[in-house]
Structure 1
Amino acid sequence: MHYRCSIITRNLEVIKFFQSFDICDYKFDFYSFRLESAYNALLKTPPSILFVDLDHPDYRQSDWNSLVEVLNYMECQPVLVAISSTKSFAYQALKTGFQDYLLNPLYELDVRKSLVKSRKCLQMRTSRERDNVICLKSYSDYRFLNVEEILYLKADNNTTDLFLNGQKQVTAFKSLKYFEDTLSDDFLRIHNSYIINKRAVKRINYSKSLIFFDADLNGHSVPFSRKFRDQVDGLKKTLLTDEQVLFG
């Protein structure tokens, strides 16, 4: 697999370093002009890895909001690696989301280590995205669904109804037990007929034995049974730790 690397810098020594850098599977592009033009080029052809020279004069005059804004427009954000002649920007870089921080002058070993680290980050991201997708097959129809969209699943005889964000519903010709065994630990059985996405829960009401996906008690809810009370108690402890839920 080839990785596209873009480098924003006006430092000729940095450009010469990467031009002479001999490493397979990596292709380097250079943007030595103004940031506005560099960002426009990045949006046209997004890289896998983005090296940003923080000594670029435009960065010294801004608070980096322009970089963050451009990244938010990218459907798949690159791994960020900072380059600077000083450690002064290190904290701000890490806070902005940079994966690594290289001091200039650059050394081949440091850059190779950074590229390996960035590649592992990209591979983990790809694996995570693949794990988050399930395929629902119906005869000759294949539907690929991101599991993060699922609020809960409801058994309906030998089929299962999946209720999604945006009040959408999909029927799968699989049993609820199949999904219980297939889905990640983010999904929890709370009833003989229901599995919920723990990350989607907004409220647990013990007096009504209901779990809500909206903070409003009049909102969307599903029941939990006494048989699965221990699982619900465990969910409550987790959500209290994360400070994500209200209880009635």
Structure 2
Amino acid sequence: MIKAIIIDDELNAIKNLKWEIENFCDYIDVCDTFTNPREAISAINYLKPDCVFLDIEMPEMDGFQLLNQLDFRDFDLIITTAYDNYAIKAFKEHAIDYLLKPIDSEDLLETISRVRKNQQENELGTEVKKLIENLTLPKQPKRLAIPLVGKTIYVNLEEIIYCKSDGNYTEIFLENNQKEILSKKLKEVEAQMNRSFFRVHNSYLVNVNYIREFVKNEGNYLILRDGTNIPVSRAKKNELLEFLNS
């Protein structure tokens, strides 16, 4: 299903376009509509739609200004307008199509067909990319070697809850309230970990599988399954949230 958002300052134009899509394009889901462009910016960045139907002439902010304020732009753009003098600028914004109001049903179906084809090609490209990455990714480590006096112990990475920097040493906190000290800096330990570990702070490396809560008020910090609180630096907050939600 292709997720779509419609943006137009005229409510009737939104209703008409939505009706056409819902009645003739069963693989398009209009997940939201907006007459206020500022609200639309937040929604696009949050919902990450597959395509956006965007009017150009709007009183508070025109469609091109809206596009310039977006963080998320990975969608098929369809310009909808009553004026035919925006075509060149529309295609400079990489619009997949340009529909003149009142929108003709055949033109709309042709545009939707182009969107569907584009989405299918993107999905195929993503799957091929994932396959290549899986074939070329280096084998991930499963254990961490911790040299001790007269011996070396080997710890399964999934048993490690978090690691804490202690100057030139790293404290390794394990399940069952165990702790070991490794004579390596945290940066060196991080290089030996797999993708389950995230550096949330200069002093902390956390196994994300043990994260129970992410608390944002009174500073950013994690609560792990064993009740431990781990600070999250401001610089790492957004990257961590993206990592956890991926």
TM-score (norm 1): 0.49
Highest CA radius of gyration, 1 or 2?
2
